[in-house]
Structure 1
Amino acid sequence: RRYVSLYGIAAFHAGLGEHDQAFEWLEKAYEERSGWLVWLKSEPISDALRSDPRFQNLLRRVGLPP
């Protein structure tokens, strides 16, 4: 068995264009206080999610500038 971060699962879904599932996993990562969330703004995989209001909301809650 190997550990896969909740953020990693979200990135997988984002890469497949499954945005709703990506945001579900990002929310779980946020609830778990995943340290990976600090990379939201710099990850290329996030490009597909940036225009979604849920992304901006998550950035705000994580404490990252829009």
Structure 2
Amino acid sequence: MILDHHLMRSEEGALWLDALSASAGRKVYCAADFMKFPRQLLEAQRADLYRQMPVPAGWHDAYAHQLE
């Protein structure tokens, strides 16, 4: 079974997936595991990433208006 997306938006989701896999006695994958890529929980790291790579003031508003 492959689970992904919202579950992997937090560190807790990744830990839950590992616990589920252990309790099921079978591997339950996220897409990254299945493709043999490292897990990158970008949403869980959002605050740190914005501190490391800040976006210009007004960027979020401009992006939101672009979608309208």
Question: Structure 2 length as normaliser, TM-score?
Answer: 0.34
Question: Structure 1 length as normaliser, TM-score?
Answer: 0.35
Which protein has the larger Cα radius of gyration, Structure 1 or Structure 2? 2
